[in-house]
Structure 1
Amino acid sequence: MLKTTIGKLRFMGYFEGVSLLVLLFIAMPLKYGFDIPEAVRIVGSIHGALFVTYCIVIAYVTLKTRWNIIWPILSIVVAFIPFGNFILDKKLHKLEKTYG
């Protein structure tokens, strides 16, 4: 997966997507249901760093593969949707064969 340009985006998208799910479905319930705000602070910081890295990888892939504007926009939009990166991953897997 890490051998191709798009594979690097898929790899980073996976971790960004998992961090969003952990934030939404574990850390936030701990904060609001059990009054443990540290969970959101820690997981939120990790998620923020992964999101910034994900955006940098999107820019790298866009420049390297000369994508049209729709793919980078779509890649950023799905980062805000739970399970969005995993749906995009299936489409990127098909593109990976084309662009490399």
Structure 2
Amino acid sequence: MTRLFRIIATLEGLSLLFLLFVAMPMKYIYKNEAYMHNAGMAHGVLFIAYIIIAYLLKEERNWSFKKYLIVAVASVIPFGTFYIEWKFLKAPENN
């Protein structure tokens, strides 16, 4: 489960960065909406997968609600999922 979460967290983080720093500037600065629909859809699906797998991981590892909430909120902050992966999943007590 942890390996799957790491993959989804990385993809979700990359999709958020692509959406914020490529697709949105293309739409609002250059008036080109070519990337918005696909980037938004991919990010939405990955976000939902991230939240569901985080919940399953919470149940598996007996995380507190506070820790789960931190993991969930990090998904809406740019670079947040990369921090969560480093902080909560790479620590020796979590492997």
TM-score by length of 1: 0.85
Aligned residues: 94
Change in Cα spacing, 1:8 to 1:98, as seen in structure 2 (3 Å) is farther
After superposition, the CA RMSD in angstroms is 1.3
Q: Which has the higher contact order (CA 8 A, sep 6+)?
A: 1
Give CA deviations for 1:17-60 in whole Å, capped at 9, x if unaligned.
Answer: 00000000000011111111231111001000000011110111
Q: Which of the residues 31, 34, 57 maps onto 2:30?
A: 34
Correspondence list, 1:20-59, <5 A: 20-59=16-55
1:19 aligns with 2:15: yes
1:80 aligns with 2:82: no
Identical-residue share of aligned pairs (%): 31
State the 1:63 CA deviation: 1.1
Once residues 88 and 99 of structure 1 are traced to their aligned partners in structure 2, the CA distance between those partners, rounded to angstroms, is 12
Q: Point out 4+ residue stretches in structure 1 off by more than 6 angstroms.
A: none
Once residues 72 and 7 of structure 1 are traced to their aligned partners in structure 2, the CA distance between those partners, rounded to angstroms, is 17
- Unpaired stretches in structure 2, ≥5 consecutive residues: none
